């Protein structure tokens, strides 16, 4: 653009450089091309604007580079701070898969980061730890943060870990779970007593919420949690599915082989149920040989697929003594009900799932029936 203007000016005769008015023209030699002075003014304005924009772009680039540099420095300082902490720090996805751990966390478990990252948190903290975490973080009393105690037994020595949990949110939506782990096994006499008290409190709280035979959530906890999940489904317009599960032939099995064998069968079924659903779903012993599963945010079709998978796994499982039974063995009948299509209250949903379950038993057992 600058070169064009210079060429134009160089070709203008000195006596015609200025015209009397903006509408006058300039005669250019040697070709005698007539150019309006307004064109030259426009070219000048364009050049000035281009120079200004270039200067602004350069300044914006320098500012962006400076901000990026400062952010990078802040991130490095933050990482150094976390790595230097004496408490263990971890981050998991909402599915419980570990995505980050610091050195102190690795030390708690005598492992390297590569041995932990990518694994389920339950592999470190115990079979039901993530279910406890999800339930604790859903507690409306303290939704943003919660603390509980887990006990490990490395080499036969009990280690008590206090785990402080919270959500990592983006735009007020949880995207991950962060945790701080502190070993509270050692310390002063007072710290030990406080740790013991916290541990006993958590143990009592856990015992009050779980079934003594199966280790699943009990009837009381199910009722409380059902109310909470139903409230959330109403508030956010989500779905909630209920599976009512009854073990076919359990009475005959229990009578034939005794209560100890019956309890073992209940525990086997419980394990198959837990491993067939997400860690955030709620699995509870409803009573006797009946179980209830709350499938959070699950519509009827996916809930029915989960139920069918459970039925098939239990049908294929080889229970102790089952070859001595006159029937083919232990199976389950499952009724599926979904909020809000099959009921809008806890009572209606449980009734709908229960009726569907008994319909399955009447029709021959070992089947899934939708409400």
Torsions phi, psi of 293, nearest 5? -120, 130
- Predicted local distance difference test score (pLDDT) of residue 50: 65
The CATH architecture assigned to 219-370 reads 2-Layer Sandwich (3.30)
Cβ atoms of 200 and 171 within 8 Å: the answer is: no
Where residue 277 falls (left for φ over 0; alpha for ψ -120 to 50; beta otherwise) is beta
Low-confidence ranges of the chain (pLDDT < 50): 1-31, 140-144, 154-156
- Predicted local distance difference test score (pLDDT) of residue 195: 65
- Predicted local distance difference test score (pLDDT) of residue 156: 46
Q: How far is CA 204 from CA 124, 152, 309, in A?
A: 22, 17, 34
**Topology agreement, domain 88-209 and domain 219-370:** no
Torsions phi, psi of 188, nearest 5? -70, 170
Secondary structure (3-state) at 202: helix
As assigned by CATH, the class of the 88-209 domain is alpha beta
Cβ atoms of 222 and 292 within 8 Å: the answer is: yes
Q: How far is CA 323 from CA 150, 320, 344, in A?
A: 40, 8, 43
The alpha carbon torsion through 338, 343, 349, 353 (nearest 10 deg) reads: -60
CA dist., res. 344 & res. 242, Å (int):
12
Domain ranges, ordered by start, for the chain: 2-60, 88-209, 219-370
Q: What is the CA radius of gyration of the chain?
A: 35
- Predicted local distance difference test score (pLDDT) of residue 43: 63
Global model pTM greater than 0.85 = no
Q: Which H/E stretch holds residue 26?
A: strand 25-27
- Predicted local distance difference test score (pLDDT) of residue 13: 46
**Beta-carbon-side half-sphere exposure of residue 178 (alpha carbons within 13 Å):** 13
Length of the chain measured in residues: 371
- Predicted local distance difference test score (pLDDT) of residue 337: 97
CA dist., res. 189 & res. 195, Å (int):
10
Q: Where are the beta strands (DSSP E) in 202-322?
A: 240-248, 282-287, 290-296
Residue-wise pLDDT for 100-130, tens only, equals: 888 888 887 778 888 888 888 777 776 566 6
CA dist., res. 29 & res. 10, Å (int):
10
């Amino acid at each position: 653009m600058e070169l064009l203007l210079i060429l134009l000016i160089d070709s203008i005769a000195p006596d015609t450089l200025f015209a009397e008015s903006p509408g006058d023209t300039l005669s250019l030699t040697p070709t005698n091309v007539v150019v309006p002075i307004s064109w030259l003014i426009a070219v000048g304005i364009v050049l000035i604007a281009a120079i200004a924009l270039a200067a602004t772009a350069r300044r914006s680039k320098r500012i962006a580079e400076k901000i990026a540099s400062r952010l990078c420095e802040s991130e490095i300082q933050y990482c150094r701070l976390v790595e230097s902490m004496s408490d263990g720090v971890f981050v998991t996805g909402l599915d419980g898969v570990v995505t980050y751990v610091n050195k102190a966390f690795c030390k708690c478990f005598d492992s390297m980061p590569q041995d932990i990252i990518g694994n389920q948190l339950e592999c470190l903290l115990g079979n039901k730890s993530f279910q406890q975490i999800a339930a604790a973080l859903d507690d409306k009393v303290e939704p943003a943060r919660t603390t509980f105690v887990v006990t490990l037994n490395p080499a036969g020595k009990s280690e008590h870990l206090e785990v402080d949990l919270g959500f990592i949110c983006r735009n007020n939506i949880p995207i991950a779970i962060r945790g701080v782990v502190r070993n509270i096994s050692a310390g002063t006499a007072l710290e030990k007593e406080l740790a013991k008290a916290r541990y006993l409190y958590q143990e009592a709280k856990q015992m009050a919420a779980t079934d003594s035979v199966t280790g699943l959530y009990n009837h009381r906890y199910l009722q409380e949690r059902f109310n909470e999940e139903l409230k959330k489904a109403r508030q956010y317009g989500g779905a909630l599915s209920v599976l009512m599960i009854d073990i076919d032939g359990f009475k005959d099995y229990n009578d034939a082989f005794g209560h100890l064998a019956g309890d073992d069968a209940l525990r086997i079924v419980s394990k198959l149920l837990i491993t067939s659903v997400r860690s955030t779903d709620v699995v509870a012993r409803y009573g006797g040989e009946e179980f209830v599963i709350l499938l959070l945010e699950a519509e009827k079709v996916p809930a029915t697929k989960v139920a069918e998978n459970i039925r098939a796994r239990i049908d294929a499982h080889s229970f102790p003594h089952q070859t001595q039974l006159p029937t083919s063995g232990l199976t389950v009948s499952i009724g599926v009900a979904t909020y809000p299509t099959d009921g809008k209250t806890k009572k209606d949903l449980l009734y709908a799932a229960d009726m569907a379950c008994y319909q399955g038993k009447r029709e021959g057992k070992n089947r899934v029936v939708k409400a």
